[in-house]
Amino acid sequence: MGSPLLIDPFARHVSYVRISLTDRCDFRCVYCMSENMTFLPKAELLTLNEVDRLASAFVQLGVTKLRLTGGEPLVRRNIMWLVERLGRHLDQGLEELTITTNGSQLARFADGLKQAGVRRVNVSLDTLDSAKFTSITRWGRLDQVLNGIQAAKSAGLKIKINMVALKGVNEDEIDRMLAWCGAEGFDLVLIETMPLGEIEQDRTDQYLPLSVVRRRLARKWTISDIPLSTGGPARYVRVKETGGRLGFITPLTHNFCEACNRVRVTCTGIMYMCLGQEDQVDLRTPLRASTSDDMLIEAIRGGIDRKPKGHDFIINRPKAAPALARHMSMTGG
């Protein structure tokens, strides 16, 4: 009899699932989307009831961490109904329910998220400069996001700031962001830009290796490796001067595939076993084919049995097309 858990061909336990609720977003970040995006018809998206059933099946299969993503998940209508439903699994197999957000809607939802069982949110924030923030997000307002972050902090949510390091754009702000996060009690995670989806510019112009960033930071800050694992791909260090934690997500300079414990499900029910590969499994069809979860669980297990060892990201080919055509907003952040 096989393991009741999800074990891939490389003996990795898949215990972490990121589920996208929508490909829509109220920002148009330059490294993530084109300004004029064509979004999926709403009829193609999983209903919130279907997301609940899907997530519940994963918990039944030993998944201990669920992250809701997008697009921007908090623009999905009736989002709090879903979060409250998923909260019933906490302490019943599910250990953590989290959300990745751009922060624009946090002021509205922070208290409700905490009451539903969410303990931490990841907020994407690449700059503390208002004009630069608008330039990067195209449609965003920094004050709205900062107000949302403070609302989340006041509600008692732990906060992790995700900052994409962009060459020539915000690389001169990393020290400032690190100091701000330390003062506020937030973790900071730096992320290399990933070659996903066509955008208006060449990503090689944006790519900033985090190995270079770490060497620069070490000139000013005292950083030391710590054996922290949050279930994601970040490698963490402690910053002596702030007492805070700094993470590095490095899919290009140092890939994190050897310990990968996660899969992603799009808002249309497509499961990608690897962010950097095109292989996929349709979970929407078995969801809608039967009220029983047998077909769904069989499809999930079949996908995990095909989970690859690692991704194929590469970004150092001048003018090369992105490694994958789909945008991050489609796959789920």
- Flag whether 181 is marked binding: no
Asked if the bond preceding 62 is cis, omega within 30° of 0, the reply is: no
Is 71 among the annotated ligand-binding positions? yes
User: Has 306 been labeled as part of a binding site?
Assistant: no
The token duo for 325 is 């055509």
Sign of CA dihedral 206, 35, 317, 281: positive
As a whole number of angstroms, the distance between CA 81 and CA 259 comes to: 33
How far is it, in rounded angstroms, from Cα 123 to Cα 105? 11
Q: Confirm or deny that 31 is annotated as ligand binding.
A: yes
Instruction: Provide φ and ψ at 151, rounded to 5°.
Output: -65, -40
236 in a known ligand binding site: no
Q: Do the annotations mark residue 267 as ligand-binding?
A: no
Q: Is 14 annotated as a binding residue?
A: no
Q: Do the annotations mark residue 25 as ligand-binding?
A: yes
32 among annotated binding-site residues: yes
Spell out the SS3 assignment of the chain.
CCCCCCECCCCCECCEEEEECCCCCCCCCCCCCCCCCCCCCHHHCCCHHHHHHHHHHHHHCCCCEEEEECCCHHHCCCHHHHHHHHHHHECCCECEEEEEECCCCHHHHHHHHHHHCCCEEEEECCCCCHHHHHHHHCCCCHHHHHHHHHHHHHCCCEEEEEEEEECCCCHHHHHHHHHHHHHHCCEEEEEECCCECCCCCCHHHCECCHHHHHHHHHCCCCEEECCCCCCCCCEEEEECCCCCEEEEECCCCCCCHHHCCEEEECCCCEEECCCCCCCEEECHHHHHHCCCCHHHHHHHHHHHCCCCCCCCCCCCCCCCCCCECCCHHHHCC
260 is in an annotated binding site: yes
Residue 285, annotated ligand binder?
A: no
Which residues are 188's β-sheet partners?
161, 246
Annotated binding-site positions: 18, 25, 29, 31-32, 67, 71, 100, 124, 160, 194, 257, 260, 262-264, 274
Annotated binding-site positions for GTP: 18, 67, 100, 160, 262-264
Annotated binding-site positions for [4Fe-4S] cluster: 25, 29, 32, 257, 260, 274
Annotated binding-site positions for S-adenosyl-L-methionine: 31, 71, 124, 194
